[in-house]
Structure 1
Amino acid sequence: MEQEIFSGDLRGISQQSVSLRIRMISKEICRLLPEYIQHPGLEQKRRNVRLFQAIAGFPGVAACIDCTHIKIVSPGGDNAEVFRNRKGIFSLNVQVAVGPQMEMLDIVVRHPGSAHDSVIFDRSALRVFCERGQMGGFLLGDNGYPCRPYLLTPVIHPGNVRDERYNRAHKSTRNIVERVFGVYKRRFPCLYRGLTTKLETTQAIICATATLYNLGVKCKDNFIFEDEVAENIDDDIGNINVPLDQLGLGFRNEFIQNHF
């Protein structure tokens, strides 16, 4: 955002005018988000499962999910500290589900940096979508999420060869979400540097850039394929005591025995 304001100064446009135009344009682009970021139809869901399996042999995957932090300035007010994440930085924690062609299928841009990934997921429409069986396959997530029959996570302490094969396939398949975050922030450097706008405008900018990102994927823009940089995302092991889902763990064990 500093670059845009600097450019405005060179052209004799005030910071207030630049900020106003950024907010207006971002909100207009946001209106297109449902058109460009959406869950696919039945045939595309089946195709996505095949494309995911082709990556590392992991069957039945509909999407990979993770969160990424977008740095912001303190929004001020009584609740400002909830936006400070575990690294001590003010941020929004943005949840994204991605498909096998590096497209965004779902995005949530309303939670502060202190919100954990599992909490964001449990409060999202995506969870309801999964529980209704509408995804057309599994989600893959890291250990910041509870293991559930529709959301498969890595085995923290693999005890046999099958567990190890499962973990390798899981990691190789889920790597796509890290690639998406890396390309997304490389394409829109303001997201990497951080946003200094008001919170409402910041949310609009994130939604607008996500819409433009997916438009690029749809148009096969070369930036998606050239010099990809993956975001360095940890596995969230030990960051929070995610409640154990015995049904999910039992399903995962049976799934590993049947497929790995």
Structure 2
Amino acid sequence: RDRDLGRDRVLRRYRLDKAAIAGLCRELGADLESLTGRSHALPVAVKVTSALTFLASGSFQTATRDSTGISQSAMSNCLAQFLEALQRRAARYIAFPPTTARAGTVAGAFPGVLGLVGGMHVALRAPSENEPVVCDAAGTITNVVAKFPGSCPNAAVLENSALARLLEGARPDGAWLLGDRSYPLKPWLMTPIAAPRGAAEERYNALHHQALAVLRRTLALLKLRFRCLDKGRGCLQYAPQKVCQIFLACCILHNIALRRRMPLELPEGLPPPRNRARPTPAAPPRADVQRGAGRAGPHCPAGQGRPRMRHPPPKIWGGSGPLRGACRDA
């Protein structure tokens, strides 16, 4: 039925173009084809487009209306099969650390930055989920930690992640992450100076804020592209484990859209994304106010460092399966 839709309508409905959708059908076909032999089994294309419609709109009613009138129970099965199939292929689309060519200079001031790290709250019928995300300078998502409840501080989630273990053990010389003040200062994590003194430290903070704008834009685009993640559309009525799968799928599809340089076509009058989750708390007070203490980056020399503050392991709701790469957090 969708063969007659123009390119713009396809992008608005599915957030991917026809070629990308056809590619997904081919890639996921072996997992989505019915094994029951029933004559009325749904085609792979219907399952893929039904799932994409839900992720793009955040509405089961919209997805079932636009997918040849299938029932909501059939729609639920389509979504579950699609998420499982896409999750198995996550490592093809989300990989950390990035290649040397992609680990470039951020905002023209931070050489050797492997990525920008920040958290995003996803509302569900339980409180929420805290989903730390790492992206590169182009907005490509390179790491996802999709298994912690929203009550976990960003610092605790990062400290108990495979990403932190990787960077503490095998980080290349001269390579860092950038994070906001909700994260603690680490030898591999550059954060803002809490109380800058003088023009040099103020300039560092300004450049740091400018660099993190890429991450803020990436998370905003993720919510705009996939409205199921936007609290303005209501909370996701799923168990936390399923929400982890939904978030991971949206990140994979976001990267596919970026690779294919697809414009973000949105319906007219669509409100901006909303996130009513409480503000991210600041990291614990820092010894020596960060001034030269342990900051090892292109603008500040390495020093003795401040006392390391350990966080107890947070409760894990259950990840959506391993990313088969260096980091296994999603």
Give the shorter-chain TM-score range. Answer: 0.7 to 0.9
More displaced stretch, 192-201 vs 182-191: 192-201
2:284 aligns to what? 242
Larger-gyration structure (1/2): 2
Q: Aligned partners of 1:231, 1:178: CA distance in 2, in Å?
A: 13
1:206 aligns to what? 247
What is the CA distance between 1:152 and its match in structure 2? Answer: 0.7
2:162 aligns to what? 125
> Please, what TM-score do these two structures have when normalized by structure 2?
0.63
Structure 1 vs Structure 2 CA RMSD: 3.1
1:5 aligns to what? 61
Q: Do structure 1's residue 165 and structure 2's residue 203 form an aligned pair?
A: yes
Q: Aligned partners of 1:167, 1:233: CA distance in 2, in Å?
A: 26
Structure 2: gaps of 5 or more residues: 1-53, 266-271, 302-330
C-alpha distance after superposition, 1:106-150 (max 9, x if no partner): 001100010110000001000011112336611100111111111
Normalized per residue, which structure has more helix? 1
What is the CA distance between 1:230 and its match in structure 2? Answer: 9.2
Q: Which runs of 4+ in 1 moved over 4 A?
A: 9-12, 229-234
Which SS does the other structure have where 2:186 is aligned?
Answer: coil
Q: Aligned partners of 1:8, 1:143: CA distance in 2, in Å?
A: 43
Q: Do structure 1's residue 217 and structure 2's residue 265 form an aligned pair?
A: no
Q: Aligned partners of 1:204, 1:232: CA distance in 2, in Å?
A: 20
Which of 183, 192, 214 aligns to 1:176? It is 214
C-alpha distance after superposition, 1:20-57 (max 9, x if no partner): 2211111111111111000256xx32x334342xx231
Question: Following superposition of structure 1 onto structure 2, how do residues 42-121 of structure 1 map, counting pairs within 5 Å?
Answer: 44-45=99-100, 47-52=101-106, 55-74=107-126, 90-121=127-158
CA contact (8 A) 2:115 2:134 kept: yes
The one-letter code sitting in structure 2 at the alignment partner of 1:109 is: A
Q: Aligned partners of 2:79, 2:282: CA distance in 1, in Å?
A: 37
State the aligned residue count: 233
C-alpha distance after superposition, 1:176-220 (max 9, x if no partner): 110110111111011113422232222211111111111112222
Percent of residue pairs bearing the same amino acid type: 24
Q: Aligned partners of 1:201, 1:163: CA distance in 2, in Å?
A: 43
1:87 aligns to what? none
Which SS does the other structure have where 1:251 is aligned?
Answer: coil
C-alpha distance after superposition, 1:88-108 (max 9, x if no partner): xx2110011110111011001
Which SS does the other structure have where 1:62 is aligned?
Answer: strand
CA contact (8 A) 1:70 1:94 kept: yes
Q: Do structure 1's residue 32 and structure 2's residue 89 form an aligned pair?
A: yes
